[in-house]
Amino acid sequence: MLTRRAGKRIIIFLAVLLPAVASVLPSALALPEVYRLAPFPFRSQEGATVQLILDVSSAAPSTAYQFVFGVQDPSTHVWISVPQNYTTLPTQQEFILIVSYPSSSFNATGGVNSLVGVYPASVSQTKPVPKSNVASTFFRIGLTDNTVYQRTQTVSIKATGYQPYEFVNVRITTSPGSTVVLNNPDFADGLGVISDRWTIPPNADLSQSYVVTATGSTTSKSPADVDTFTITPAQVTVSSISSNRGTYQRTEQVRISFQASYPSLAFATTGSANVTLIRPSSSAFNITASYDLVSHNFVATYRLPMNAQIGVWTARLNVNNFDDSNDNRGPASQVSITFTVQIATLTVTTTLAKTTFVINERMPFNMTMTYPDGTALGSSDHASGRLSLSGGTYAASIPLIYDTSTSQWEGLYIPTGNEPTGLWSLTVNGTDNSTPINTGVSSNVITLNKRASTVTVSCNPSQITVGQQVTCTATVTDVDVGTAITPTGQVTISPAFDNPQLCDLPSGSGSSASCSVIFVTRPQSQGTNSVTASYGGDSHEALSSTTASVVIQQPQTTNSGDNPYTLPLFYFAIIAGIIAAIVAGFIAFRHKTTHTKLKIDLEAVKSEAGKIENQAFFQSVKDQLSKDKDDASSSKSGGGSGP
Amino acid sequence: MTKVIAIHSFKGGTGKTTLTANIAATLATHSRVGVMDLDLSGPGLHVIFGLKKGEIKATLSDIFLGEAEPAETIIDLSPKFDLKKGGLFFCPASNKIEDMLRLLKSGLEVSVFKDTIQKVGEQCKLDYIIVDTHPGVENDTVLAMGCCDALVLVSRVDQQDLFGTAVMVMLAETFEKPTFLALNMVPPGVRIKDAVKVGKDLAVLFKSHFLAAFEFQIDVINNLSRSVFVLDNPNSNFAKKVSEAVENLEKELAGMSAQQSSL
């Protein structure tokens, strides 16, 4: 075994010796060069220059290298370059040498690139050590700028080597179908170059190869200008999809749209796509998008149901789910958009025949409640009405029912008679059976007024003399629509012949109430006197007033002595006669008054009755009864004449 | 054969329903009487007859809506009012707002009402059916007017009431129905004798029959529709007046029947 000291000495020895040995070794013992030759581009059109790139690695530093390139064109003519030199630097072990073909580097004419076909190329080293054919490669020259195209892309065609302005026919035919898809005779330019383009239609036949030929009228090429390309489906691009709204209510229509573009950047106008709608619960379903001629987009629509899930939805177009109906598909990666679905706010429209009512008047109203899409809330749903006084001190619920014949909700508020006057609001709420519910509300303002009243006043007796007691009676009547309420409160009776007095209307029933006051006529009040009755109203009835007139006569007086009541005997008979006449007159007057007061206008009665008789229901009842009567009598007579 | 008497007023608040209940009850002391509440949008007879919610199984409204048979609506009140000689049978109306609204829309069929009258009359072997109607000229009023044998018009001594009553008489003439004028709630300021005179004169003017004039009775008002007044107070002035009116009505109707039979 080596000792530790001996091992150390060996290491020192090797460290000093090895660099010295390396510096004196001959270059022939170095690693051999590695040569790589590559064209750029590998394929090009006629007339194009190709770069031949020679990469030499493991080269010797500080060495002069020389190479010669050779290219064989499709006519088998070989083109040799002039020697190409390169000297490596002291530390350089790799270098690149580039030669253009055709160029002045190749012979006098520089090479040919006007022929379609394969161009083999090779390189030989001439210095420092001659080595033949150290590397080789090949490149192609054709008529088209590619060998494979997607539909809708444009094929660019270029052929050179013709006479200036020579007539050249460029054609593309399918193979094996032999269908001519391009036939374009044209003149070459001043340099003998002919160029053409063909845009591939979206429905180009994919089963065929496409053969391009250029045929000159005078130039005959060998090999001839013939090239081939193939077509693949177009990759359709859909960069994004959009929703026409960020938020929808249930029953509204979701509209998803997108544009699809071909590689040519033209927009697709045919085909369809399955758009996947994903609910908040992650369950999904597909809807179909088709081309919309108005918006020039592909559009998919979906009417959200009344019970659609609430929350964030996603619309997604998956990879290649769009097909333009020619098997051109897209997108290459999925695109999506989100939108929010909310509950539907129902539109509640309440129709009132009028907005001003009086106490104890029925309030009929009807409503329509519709979803955003116009669908009506129906009988299986719920609706409620509420009438509340401004300030909320009084409120009442009103049941609503749905009438299928009119497709309307109907409500009727039947008053209690205790509603205070003022501003009221009628609130109608509608809800359906969805989870969560869709709902809507409307509010209308209603004015509730007091009921109209009239007051009449009459005095008794009707023939009054000065100093006599008179009873005046005021009658207040509720004359407004609906069920009457008995007026209460006070009436001020103000006769011209005495001081005004108040009287209280008694509680009772019916539409009228009366109260009376006893007055005494003043000495100076003979003649016609007015009597005014003013009703002050109550919580239900509005105030009213009226004025009547009474005639007060001067009492019969004597002209003998101070005592007016001492009359000569022969006047007693006259006075008695007058009193009897007054009593008889009073009775007759009262009777007449009652009749006069209650005078009925028979013409008006006939007119009113006529109007009612003309009403449809009245006529229908009349016709039905008359028919029944006829049927009954005919059955009687029929029975009598039977066998 | 059952005689059908409709009781009607042109204006509300005339005491029509109270009078209907009391006339029916008076008749029912010696005859078999049916009472139909055809005031479909403002029924009240069930209150006067003291019916509780559970006692009403079906209503006239249900019949018109096609949801009940006439027999299902009949409530025998005879035991309740201890009517041993006669009988009182009641067909109520629904006091539910929903039913009122539905009826407004569904309409009323003459044939349905006639059929109801016939079936109730036959089943209970009724001498009379008294029909209480809605004030004014509504569809139920016209229906009752068309299907009745006689029409009692209740009016106050009031210009508006009497005008409307005259209109009702004229409409009844179209159906060839006899009418009876009853003046109710005659104010204290008008003597009953004068009211009778006015009533008779108006009856002549309207080509109607005068039935009775009822004074404003504070006792009846104070009863607050809690019961049938004449049954609770058989000796009251009002009961006597109603009794006279019923007697008068029966006599007149009998006379008319005899006249028709002789023809």
- Three-state secondary structure string covering A264-321: CCCECCCCEEEEEEECCCCCEEEEEEEEECCCCEEEEEEECCCCCCCEEEEEEEEEEE
Cα–Cα distances in angstroms (integers) from residue A68 to residues A52, A86, A101, A132, B17, in the given order? 12, 12, 13, 9, 133
| CB A250, CB A304: distance < 8 Å | yes
Which residues of chain A does B15 touch, with a Cβ-Cβ cutoff of 8 Å? Answer: 509-510
Answer yes or no: do B198 and A594 touch at CB < 8 A: yes
Answer yes or no: do A508 and B187 touch at CB < 8 A: no
B119 near A CB under 8 A: no
Which pLDDT band holds residue A636 (cuts at 50, 70, 90)? low
Predicted confidence (pLDDT) at residue A74 exceeds the cutoff of 80: yes
Nearest to A509 among B13, B190, B194 (CB): B13
What pLDDT is recorded for position A27? Answer: 45
Calculate mean pLDDT across residues A583-595.
Answer: 48
Mean pLDDT for chain A overall? 85
Nearest to A509 among B142, B175, B221 (CB): B221
B80 near A CB under 8 A: no
Nearest to B175 among A477, A510, A625 (CB): A625
Nearest to A412 among B101, B108, B159 (CB): B101
Answer yes or no: do B143 and A605 touch at CB < 8 A: no
| CB B8, CB B145: distance < 8 Å | yes
Answer yes or no: do A617 and B139 touch at CB < 8 A: yes
The rounded distance, in Å, linking the Cα atoms of B239 and A53 is 136
Nearest C-alpha of chain A: how many angstroms from B87? 30
| Residue A428: strand pairing partners | A385, A442
Which pLDDT band holds residue B243 (cuts at 50, 70, 90)? very high
Q: What share of chain B is helix, strand, coil (3-state, %, to 5)?
A: 50, 20, 35
Backbone angles phi, psi at A39, to 5 degrees: -90, 155
* Least trusted range by pLDDT, from A203-212, A347-356, A441-450, B105-114: B105-114
Predicted confidence (pLDDT) at residue A556 exceeds the cutoff of 70: no
Nearest to A613 among B14, B156, B171 (CB): B171
Which residues of chain B does A606 touch, with a Cβ-Cβ cutoff of 8 Å? Answer: 170
Which pLDDT band holds residue A578 (cuts at 50, 70, 90)? low
Cα–Cα distances in angstroms (integers) from residue A436 to residues A281, A306, A345, in the given order? 15, 10, 12
Answer yes or no: do A405 and B105 touch at CB < 8 A: yes
Q: How far is CA A100 from the centre of its chain?
A: 65
DSSP-assigned states of every residue in B31-66: SEEEEEEE-TTS--HHHHTT--GGG----HHHHHTT
* Chain A residue closest in CA terms to B206: A602
Which pLDDT band holds residue A19 (cuts at 50, 70, 90)? very low
Nearest C-alpha of chain A: how many angstroms from B41? 10
B171 near A CB under 8 A: yes
Could you report the per-residue pLDDT of A22-34, keeping only the tens digit for each? 444 444 446 799 9
B141, B170, B177, B222: best to mutate for the A interface, most A CBs within 10 A: B170
Predicted confidence (pLDDT) at residue B145 exceeds the cutoff of 80: yes
What pLDDT is recorded for position A597? Answer: 52
Answer yes or no: do A605 and B166 touch at CB < 8 A: yes
Which residues of chain A does B201 touch, with a Cβ-Cβ cutoff of 8 Å? Answer: 595
Pairwise pLDDT comparison (A245 vs A597), residue with the higher score = A245
Answer yes or no: do B13 and A483 touch at CB < 8 A: yes
Mean pLDDT for chain B overall? 86
Which residues of chain B does A590 touch, with a Cβ-Cβ cutoff of 8 Å? Answer: 194
The rounded distance, in Å, linking the Cα atoms of A440 and A367 is 12
What pLDDT is recorded for position A606? Answer: 72
| Residue A568: strand pairing partners | none
Nearest to B97 among A405, A414, A620 (CB): A414
| CB A417, CB A485: distance < 8 Å | yes
Burial class of A354 by CB neighbour count within 10 A (0 to 12, 13 to 18, 19+): exposed
Nearest C-alpha of chain B: how many angstroms from A240? 55
Nearest to B101 among A410, A460, A477 (CB): A410
The winner for highest mean pLDDT among A105-109, A394-398, A597-601 is A394-398
| CB A156, CB A145: distance < 8 Å | yes
What pLDDT is recorded for position B244? Answer: 93
What pLDDT is recorded for position A580? Answer: 56
Calculate mean pLDDT across residues A217-224.
Answer: 96
Which pLDDT band holds residue A296 (cuts at 50, 70, 90)? very high
What pLDDT is recorded for position A308? Answer: 96
B188 near A CB under 8 A: yes
| Residue A459: strand pairing partners | A472
What are B255's two structure tokens? 């006379």
Taking the CA atoms of A630, A631, A633 and A638 in sequence, report the sign of the dihedral they define.
positive
B185 near A CB under 8 A: yes
What pLDDT is recorded for position A567? Answer: 43
What pLDDT is recorded for position A568? Answer: 46
Calculate mean pLDDT across residues A434-452.
Answer: 91
Answer yes or no: do A401 and B157 touch at CB < 8 A: no
* Chain A residue closest in CA terms to B111: A624
* Chain B residue closest in CA terms to A411: B101
B219 near A CB under 8 A: no
What pLDDT is recorded for position B195? Answer: 83
| CB A345, CB A432: distance < 8 Å | no
Answer yes or no: do A412 and B100 touch at CB < 8 A: yes
B218 near A CB under 8 A: yes
Which pLDDT band holds residue A39 (cuts at 50, 70, 90)? very high
Which pLDDT band holds residue A564 (cuts at 50, 70, 90)? very low
pTM over 0.80: no
Predicted confidence (pLDDT) at residue A610 exceeds the cutoff of 70: yes
What pLDDT is recorded for position A609? Answer: 73
Calculate mean pLDDT across residues B185-212.
Answer: 83
Pairwise pLDDT comparison (A358 vs A14), residue with the higher score = A358
Answer yes or no: do B205 and A602 touch at CB < 8 A: yes
| CB B175, CB B145: distance < 8 Å | yes
Predicted confidence (pLDDT) at residue A579 exceeds the cutoff of 80: no
Answer yes or no: do B146 and A622 touch at CB < 8 A: yes
Which residues of chain A does B101 touch, with a Cβ-Cβ cutoff of 8 Å? Answer: 401, 403, 410-412
Pairwise pLDDT comparison (A185 vs A469), residue with the higher score = A185
Percent of chain A at pLDDT exceeding 70: 85
Backbone angles phi, psi at A225, to 5 degrees: -80, 90
The rounded distance, in Å, linking the Cα atoms of B138 and B132 is 13
Helix axes A602-613, B159-174, angle to 10 degrees: 50
The rounded distance, in Å, linking the Cα atoms of A478 and A487 is 7
* Least trusted range by pLDDT, from A260-264, A329-333, A500-504, B197-201: B197-201
What pLDDT is recorded for position A283? Answer: 97
What are A607's two structure tokens? 């007119």
What pLDDT is recorded for position A101? Answer: 96
Burial class of B174 by CB neighbour count within 10 A (0 to 12, 13 to 18, 19+): middle
Query: What would you report as the CA-atom Rg of chain A, rounded to the nearest whole angstrom?
Result: 59
Could you report the per-residue pLDDT of A76-118, keeping only the tens digit for each? 999 999 999 999 999 999 999 999 999 999 876 789 999 999 9
B100, B105, B141: best to mutate for the A interface, most A CBs within 10 A: B105
Nearest C-alpha of chain A: how many angstroms from B85? 34
What pLDDT is recorded for position A22? Answer: 40
What pLDDT is recorded for position B1? Answer: 82
What are A473's two structure tokens? 């009676």
Task: Specify the residue for token string 């003439």.
Answer: B173
Q: How far is CA A240 from the centre of its chain?
A: 20
| Closest alpha carbon to A235 in A317, A331, A155 | A331
Predicted confidence (pLDDT) at residue A326 exceeds the cutoff of 60: yes
